[in-house]
Chain A
């Protein structure tokens, strides 16, 4: 069976209970006069509890696909359903709500809010969600404990090491109990030892049942995932299951 055929089978048989359904999505931008076709018809289904790595060289449409999955961007054509909700038809504020409740972002550059404490950073998504103060405290403390930063909760983000910052970002991604954790090169700005620690943490999250989508160009990192989707020139080049879901 060829890779293409294998993908087809995979998508067909589990179409029904996919948490994330992308069908024939295109995304076209204009850079000045030039038309850029970043995605040229991508279809992808991801199921609950999957650990997927999206790979591809620069210019492959990897970032655009990630932005689309993360509801930061809407496709030019095609449809995107997240937990059965059509994201491609949403307004900006509705997208913000979806991002808040269903997506947990982990960025390469951590993207913590400067000047405020670890606690406040982790608390932020809950504030935007409208959770009451006492409840927030409880959730935040739990999330910080889950990433092992209990003793750093009062520190400002610029007083932390890179690895600690990424842990804060992961805690922040977890507090709203998202459908998907979307990690964009989470180890890109870390040394290999710290990077490995972060990946251990990600693996642990997967074991707890979180759906994780990992965007990376490093094979070593992608190996943690159970399924690797490779993009090239705005199309899916291959979609391989490397390990069976536990």
Chain B
């Protein structure tokens, strides 16, 4: 009961003191506001990056293994991978045969070309030579028209399925299906437009700016002979098997196809979504940590500002502390009074900072990437501001609490 009264009263006194010094309280809170805005915006931006990353690679699928010449995430010098033998289309066919129909194998080749329709040109578009199985290994499907069919591959047709951004860029409001697109020097017939994938991760692939053509036609457009180009093989694992076992089997079959001796290292790389996620988490973890450390400095400076003002507040109210002690206030009551004052200022700063951060997050969300304030971020912001208040208020409050009542009463 007594403690409750103490807390209740101390809180009222603290509020009274803040209200009596509104502009000082506001200026003090400013430091905390800036600190909270910085820390929270860093956190939401980090979350936004993570969301973008997930969205970008959502189509990759976690049950798909990619066999490529190079790893997606390259550690160490690159020459080891450059000197590897290209993976041929024949290897892909062989792998398909060895797996005996378990799993879906899709070979693809990638390259960049400028594309053109009438007078409009889009530069450096990713051209992917692939097969009809592309839409099985990735989750992307055409929005209008159709995807590649087995006969397109077999008869080496000059047909193309284009990404939504290319459709907008070259054909604007008209329907691209049935029209021609010039890839490099060759004309292709547009047979489908892919569904829009939306935002893409900075520096990551943008699937909306991609064109799919039959892998058998790819050599013509990019100057390769289809059989000699470096092929990426995507293999969708059969759903009833464990990924690890299946991966192990794929590695074994690939080693046989590539004719490796038991002691030799793999001369190909196995890539998975997990590899990317791991690499991303490692990198972003470090970046976010550094960001938080830097922004925490501004919060720390804000806390020092609060401490400073609390010293002023205690000194100013020395006489009042003396009066309160004379009529029976214990150390605890005085300590609580000033701790409440500093944490209320900080909590106020935290709430205002959070509101500003919410606005900034909305701007980031509208203009850059899908960012949002999660409940855990909101709660941690409020907890952090109260903790800053208590920590920075403690030394001044303690100094006030242990004042000698006679000295304090004499103070003018």
Binding site for B on A (CB under 8 A): 67, 70, 72-73, 92-93, 96-97, 99-101, 105, 107, 111-116, 124-125, 127-130, 132, 172, 176
Contact A124 B324 (CB under 8 A): yes
Given contacts A67-B406, A132-B1, contact A113 B328 (CB under 8 A): no
Task: Give CA–CA (A138, B20) in the complex, Å.
Answer: 28
Contact B2 A130 (CB under 8 A): yes
Contact A111 B16 (CB under 8 A): no
Of A99, A101, A116, A129, which one neighbours B326 at CB under 8 angstroms?
A99
- Which residues in chain B, 299-344, are within 8 Å of chain A measured between CB atoms? 319-320, 322-333
What are 24 pairs between A and B in contact, CB < 8 Å? A72-B405, A92-B331, A93-B330, A96-B328, A96-B329, A96-B330, A96-B331, A99-B325, A99-B326, A105-B326, A111-B319, A111-B322, A111-B323, A111-B326, A111-B409, A124-B327, A125-B327, A127-B5, A128-B329, A128-B333, A129-B328, A130-B2, A172-B327, A176-B328
Contact A72 B2 (CB under 8 A): no
B400-412 contact mask (Cβ, 8 Å, vs A): 1 or 0: 0000011001000
Task: Give CA–CA (A197, B17) in the complex, Å.
Answer: 34
**A100 contact set on B, CB distance < 8 A:** 327-328
Contact B327 A114 (CB under 8 A): no
4 extra interface residue pairs, beta carbon distance < 8 Å, beyond A97-B328, A115-B20, A176-B328: A93-B330, A115-B16, A127-B9, A128-B328
Contact A113 B406 (CB under 8 A): no
**A67 contact set on B, CB distance < 8 A:** 406
Contact A128 B327 (CB under 8 A): yes
**B405 contact set on A, CB distance < 8 A:** 72
Q: 5 closest pairs, A vs B, by CB?
A: A100-B328, A130-B2, A128-B328, A93-B330, A125-B327
B12 to chain A, nearest CB (A): 9
Of A73, A114, A116, A127, which one neighbours B406 at CB under 8 angstroms?
A73
**A116 contact set on B, CB distance < 8 A:** 16
Question: Closest B-chain residue to A136, C-beta based?
Answer: B5
Task: Give CA–CA (A44, B16) in the complex, Å.
Answer: 43
Task: Give CA–CA (A100, B327) in the complex, Å.
Answer: 5
Task: Give CA–CA (A125, B324) in the complex, Å.
Answer: 8
Determine the main DSSP class of B at the interface with A: helix
Residue among B1, B5, B20, B324 with max Cβ neighbours from chain A (10 Å) = B5
Given contacts A67-B406, A72-B405, A93-B330, contact A113 B324 (CB under 8 A): yes
Question: Closest A-chain residue to B334, C-beta based?
Answer: A96
CB within 8 Å: A-B pair count? 61
Residue among B320, B328, B409 with max Cβ neighbours from chain A (10 Å) = B328
**B327 contact set on A, CB distance < 8 A:** 99-100, 105, 124-125, 128, 172
B43 to chain A, nearest CB (A): 39
Contact A130 B5 (CB under 8 A): yes
Task: Give CA–CA (A101, B323) in the complex, Å.
Answer: 15
**A124 contact set on B, CB distance < 8 A:** 324, 327
**A172 contact set on B, CB distance < 8 A:** 327
B341 to chain A, nearest CB (A): 13
**A96 contact set on B, CB distance < 8 A:** 325, 328-331
Question: Closest A-chain residue to B328, C-beta based?
Answer: A100
Task: Give CA–CA (A172, B323) in the complex, Å.
Answer: 12
Task: Give CA–CA (A72, B403) in the complex, Å.
Answer: 12
Contact A93 B331 (CB under 8 A): yes
Question: Closest A-chain residue to B326, C-beta based?
Answer: A105
**B332 contact set on A, CB distance < 8 A:** 93
**B2 contact set on A, CB distance < 8 A:** 130
A98 to chain B, nearest CB (A): 9
Task: Give CA–CA (A130, B8) in the complex, Å.
Answer: 11
B1-15 contact mask (Cβ, 8 Å, vs A): 1 or 0: 110010001000000
**B323 contact set on A, CB distance < 8 A:** 111-113
Task: Give CA–CA (A101, B1) in the complex, Å.
Answer: 17
Task: Give CA–CA (A113, B332) in the complex, Å.
Answer: 18
Task: Give CA–CA (A132, B322) in the complex, Å.
Answer: 24
Task: Give CA–CA (A73, B9) in the complex, Å.
Answer: 26
**A92 contact set on B, CB distance < 8 A:** 331
B295 to chain A, nearest CB (A): 37
Of A105, A125, A130, which one neighbours B1 at CB under 8 angstroms?
A130
B313 to chain A, nearest CB (A): 13
**B17 contact set on A, CB distance < 8 A:** 115
**B9 contact set on A, CB distance < 8 A:** 127
B410 to chain A, nearest CB (A): 10
Question: Closest B-chain residue to A128, C-beta based?
Answer: B328
Question: Closest B-chain residue to A97, C-beta based?
Answer: B328
Of A97, A112, A115, A125, which one neighbours B330 at CB under 8 angstroms?
A97
Contact A72 B406 (CB under 8 A): yes
B246 to chain A, nearest CB (A): 71
Task: Give CA–CA (A116, B20) in the complex, Å.
Answer: 10
Question: Closest A-chain residue to B323, C-beta based?
Answer: A111
Contact A125 B328 (CB under 8 A): yes
Question: Closest B-chain residue to A129, C-beta based?
Answer: B328
Task: Give CA–CA (A132, B5) in the complex, Å.
Answer: 8
Task: Give CA–CA (A127, B12) in the complex, Å.
Answer: 12
Task: Give CA–CA (A93, B330) in the complex, Å.
Answer: 5
Task: Give CA–CA (A67, B326) in the complex, Å.
Answer: 10
**A115 contact set on B, CB distance < 8 A:** 16-17, 20
Task: Give CA–CA (A115, B17) in the complex, Å.
Answer: 8
**B20 contact set on A, CB distance < 8 A:** 115
Contact A70 B326 (CB under 8 A): yes
Task: Give CA–CA (A192, B398) in the complex, Å.
Answer: 42
**A130 contact set on B, CB distance < 8 A:** 1-2, 5
Contact B326 A72 (CB under 8 A): yes
Contact A113 B331 (CB under 8 A): no
**B331 contact set on A, CB distance < 8 A:** 92-93, 96
